[in-house]
């Protein structure tokens, strides 16, 4: 990757850090409309902390509930399908509306949407913590997801438009670390809160903890966030309502049967919905092409997808996040339900993975630029090997003891090396003016992958674990781990393709320079 150009950004041989920090004049400027104090960004530390803590809080809620599921089952008498909907309902709403949230930020102003989403998220968290039955909890989780979809796309856009040069590179690395580690840290924090049983509230502090944090962040956002004028234009001043109305049923047709199928004994309507996913997807793509031909901006922007390396990057990220989210969901249930771990012990079991994933995601820029893609391939091979090791650990009803914790660290290390650079390098190809749509597309892709991972791998685990064989739950984890190996190896193929794509681009640019 040395001596090459990625989109508008010039990448030098100084390494990945230089790639993110050294920008061409086309992007190394202050976006019009950003309010700054003379001499630069006002309170940059407070701005970044406000954005990233809000982002982290919303990401945590995608997984913090996993460790609390057994307590929710006991206190609210919830069945398996309800538990999956408590976990997946938030992510479904979040995933479906993320790109729309990004578009609304362009229309109404990113800082306005961040504050509105933060307020909604805080109120919905309070409602979740006070829910009296599983139905109420699922509804409030969906509302929470909608608020997160309004808030989160604004974070990267505000970072892109507020920071410059090395400050922007550091801010984006911090954002990537938060994105990568938020899911696992949620499991750890969930275990701590459930075990603490604050005020005798059992699982409720998992949601109520967001309330004081949200209030503090909302006050900080009023004081710190720069005012960004809406980026209205003829093509971008509309929400793609047709796209939302066709994408939403497509996702629901895929996810709902996977989530409810096990508890409903795989009824005919579930198979009908799964079969309908294909024509619904075709309809969605046709609608998007029509929106683009009219000169409007579709929810799935073709100009973003056509950027070099974007499509394989999206597929790679999707596959990795399917394995990541599905494995965490099933492992949390298995450790508590089958092996009798406490919520605290279950949460702390994921700490090595969280630490490795977070550190790799922040410090990967120190890898020499020409080795980044090669490291991505190696990292995913390590991740596949780690999933394979889980088969041995779980199949006979145990969990591997100390080897399990070491394997969690190896898994976090491998998947972090494979995934974090892919996300950031994909965004580096995108001009600042396209940051909102690009970040929305990438984040939507990652969140949809989590939904599919929880629904598909979670269903696989629950189905096999319900059998009557000796160590059925252990065998379920072995089957899940085997599926994870296969999916991760497919991701290795896409990482290898991206590695060769970069080599070919470097060669083509070198030849053009002669």
Q: How far is CA 315 from CA 109, 311, 380, 432, in A?
A: 30, 6, 14, 23
Domain edge (last residue) among 268, 296, 324: 296
How would residue 65 be classed by pLDDT, with cut points 50, 70 and 90? confident
Same domain? For 269 and 394 the reply is: no
Same domain? For 278 and 140 the reply is: no
Domain annotation covers residue 33: no
Same domain? For 287 and 303 the reply is: no
Tell me, what's the pLDDT at 227?
Answer: 73
Domain annotation covers residue 169: yes
Q: Residues 293, 298, 303, 309: what is their CA dihedral angle, to the nearest 10 degrees?
A: -130
Domain annotation covers residue 134: yes
CB-CB neighbours of 496 under 10 Å: 17
pLDDT digits (tens, 9 = 90+) for 270-288: 899 999 999 999 999 899 8
Task: Please state, in angstroms and rounded to a whole number, the distance separating the CA atoms of residues 95 and 81.
Answer: 20
pTM (two decimals)? 0.75
Same domain? For 276 and 197 the reply is: no
Domain edge (last residue) among 296, 319, 337: 296
Tell me, what's the pLDDT at 206?
Answer: 92
Domain annotation covers residue 2: no
pLDDT digits (tens, 9 = 90+) for 311-355: 888 999 999 989 988 898 889 889 988 898 887 888 788 888 878
Domain annotation covers residue 9: no
Same domain? For 221 and 269 the reply is: no
Domain annotation covers residue 208: yes
Domain count, the chain: 2
Same domain? For 68 and 200 the reply is: yes
Domain annotation covers residue 157: yes
Domain annotation covers residue 76: yes
Same domain? For 269 and 397 the reply is: no
Q: How far is CA 383 from CA 311, 362, 399, 458, 460, in A?
A: 22, 18, 18, 19, 20
pLDDT digits (tens, 9 = 90+) for 132-186: 999 999 999 999 999 998 998 888 788 877 887 778 777 877 887 787 667 677 7
Same domain? For 153 and 259 the reply is: no
Same domain? For 282 and 301 the reply is: no
pLDDT digits (tens, 9 = 90+) for 78-113: 887 788 788 878 877 877 787 788 778 878 888 999
Same domain? For 251 and 397 the reply is: no
Boundaries of domain holding 149: 42-227+297-513
């Amino acid at each position: 990757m040395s001596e090459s150009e990625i989109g508008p950004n010039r990448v030098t041989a100084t390494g990945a850090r230089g790639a993110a920090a050294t920008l061409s004049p086309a992007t190394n400027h202050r976006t019009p409309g950003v309010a700054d104090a003379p001499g630069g960004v006002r309170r940059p530390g407070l701005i970044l902390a406000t954005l990233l803590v809000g982002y982290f809080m919303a990401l945590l809620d995608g997984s913090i509930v996993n460790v609390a599921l057994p307590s929710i089952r006991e206190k609210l008498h919830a069945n398996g399908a309800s538990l999956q909907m408590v976990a997946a309902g938030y992510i479904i709403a979040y995933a479906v509306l993320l790109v729309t949230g990004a578009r609304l930020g362009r229309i109404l102003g990113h800082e306005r949407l961040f504050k509105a989403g933060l307020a909604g998220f805080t109120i919905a968290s309070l409602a979740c913590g006070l829910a009296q039955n599983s139905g109420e909890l699922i509804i409030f989780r969906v509302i929470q997801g909608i608020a997160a979809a309004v808030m989160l796309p604004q974070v990267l856009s505000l970072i892109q438009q507020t920071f410059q040069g090395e400050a922007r590179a550091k801010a984006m690395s911090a954002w990537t670390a938060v994105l990568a580690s938020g899911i696992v840290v949620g499991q750890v924090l969930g275990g701590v809160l459930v075990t603490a049983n604050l005020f005798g509230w059992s699982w409720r502090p998992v949601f109520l903890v967001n309330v004081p944090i949200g209030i503090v962040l909302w006050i900080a956002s009023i004081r710190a966030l720069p005012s960004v004028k809406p980026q209205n234009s003829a093509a971008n001043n509309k929400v793609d309502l047709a796209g939302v109305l066709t994408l939403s049923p497509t996702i629901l047709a895929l996810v709902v049967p996977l989530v409810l199928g096990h508890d409903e004994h795989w009824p005919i309507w579930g198979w009908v919905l799964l079969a309908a996913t294909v024509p619904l997807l075709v309809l969605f793509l046709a609608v998007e092409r029509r929106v683009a031909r009219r000169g409007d901006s579709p929810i799935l922007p073709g100009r973003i997808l056509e950027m070099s390396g974007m499509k394989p990057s999206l597929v790679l990220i999707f596959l990795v996040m399917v394995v990541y989210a599905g494995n965490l969901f099933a492992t949390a249930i298995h450790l508590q339900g089958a092996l009798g771990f406490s919520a605290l012990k279950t949460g702390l079991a994921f700490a090595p993975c969280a630490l490795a994933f977070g550190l790799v995601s922040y410090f990967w820029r120190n890898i020499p630029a020409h080795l980044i893609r090669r490291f991505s391939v190696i990292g995913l091979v390590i991740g596949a090997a780690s999933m394979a090791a889980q088969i041995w650990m779980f199949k006979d009803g145990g969990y591997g003891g100390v080897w399990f914790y070491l394997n969690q660290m190896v898994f976090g290390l491998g998947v972090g090396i494979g995934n974090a650079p892919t996300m950031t390098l994909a965004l580096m190809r995108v001009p600042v003016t396209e940051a909102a749509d690009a970040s929305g597309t990438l984040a939507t892709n990652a969140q949809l992958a989590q939904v599919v991972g929880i629904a598909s791998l979670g269903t696989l685990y629950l189905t096999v674990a319900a059998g009557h064989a000796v160590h059925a739950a252990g065998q379920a984890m072995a089957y899940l781990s085997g599926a994870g190996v296969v999916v991760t190896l497919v991701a290795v193929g896409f990482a290898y393709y991206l590695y060769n794509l970069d080599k070919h681009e470097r060669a083509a640019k070198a030849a053009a320079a002669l």
